[in-house]
Amino acid sequence: MTDPTMSDPAMGDPDPYGSVRQRIVAATTAWAGGMTLAEIRESFERFLGDGAGAPEVLRTALRIAGLPACAFDPPEATPRTTLLYCHGGGFQIGSIRSHAGLMARLAAASGARVLGFDYRLAPEHRFPAAADDAFAAYAELVRAGDTPLAIVGDSAGCALALGTAIRARDAGLALPKALVLLSPWLDLTLSGESYTALADLDIFSRPAQLRAMARTYLGRDNPPSDPAASPVLGDLSGLPAILVHAGGHDITLDDAHLLVRKVVAQGGRIEVEVFEGMPHHFQVFEELPEAGASLRRIGAFIRAL
């Protein structure tokens, strides 16, 4: 567990969380004000993509499995060491543009190439389109002899990351050495107590919002209890080591706790760190000291693989 450092003057801004709170409230108020999905997507990209990230990281547009992608290479990147990144956004929003700053900072912290990609979004492309795209990207890297060192995801991207590892295991493909999950949203049934207990504390996500996103992603014919959509409800044996970083005020926090119980029960290895007072996928806000601390620890974890 981390100690709150939000008011430590030595960390720079004496209250960085206050500025983040203002940004989030302004953005979420606008999103709830009748904006179209296209407008919300564009706003979300600006909202998260305005950060400076790590300017020393080289960004290269490319394609993987026919999908738009971007490679983030730090100056000291180890050749053929790739982290496959699955961005969040409730399966409806988000892109390599919105998460570019986070992926660049992860590349700098880990010393590894981070490869992000744009998967198909709902409602234009419902389940299992996003999951199929994530697996296709991973499989193409394996076939090219560049099996990712780790699969990383945030929020809904964690369901894609975990689901991809499960599918790779079942298909007999080479597995990554680790999974790294940031504020994982893994149970689309929203059965954990945190979805109600932390509903008034998480300033970024709301239960009604996630329920609507799950319905839009799944459509009418796919139940949220399907392990292909909610991978934490499936077989978690035989997976690589898992590192989870979540916020103490994150409404999806119980998904992380459920993952721990199931992985441990099935003989796997998992480590979870909860950052007190932090909201859902707080790492995207680079002005937060906790975001920097999380990425430094993740970087150290990846460098030790």
Active-site option among 250, 254, 255, 294: 250
Q: Is-catalytic flag, 245?
A: no
- Given 95, 98, 110, 155, which residue is catalytic? 155
Look up 155 and say whether it is catalytic.
yes
Q: How far apart are CA 102 and CA 252, in angstroms?
A: 20
Euclidean distance between CA atoms 238 and 9, whole angstroms:
45
C-alpha 245/C-alpha 271 separation (Å) is: 9
Q: How far apart are CA 283 and CA 154, in angstroms?
A: 9
- What is the number of alpha carbons within 13 Å of residue 208 lying toward its C-beta? 2
**249 to 67, 197, 282: CA distances (angstroms):** 34, 9, 10
**DSSP state at residue 10:** G
Contact 100, 61 (CB under 8 A): no
Question: Do you find a cis peptide bond into 14, omega within 30 degrees of 0?
Answer: no
Per 3-state DSSP, the chain is made up of helix, strand and coil in percentages (nearest 5) of 40, 15, 45
Task: Supply angle C-alpha 221, 87, 209, rounded to 5.
Answer: 55
Give the integer Cα–Cα distance in Å for 162 and 230.
9
Task: Report the alpha-carbon distance of residue 128 to residue 122 in Å, rounded.
Answer: 10
Largest CA distance in the chain: 53
Active-site residue identified among 87, 99, 245, 280: 280
Look up 3 and say whether it is catalytic: no
Annotated catalytic residues are 155, 250, 280
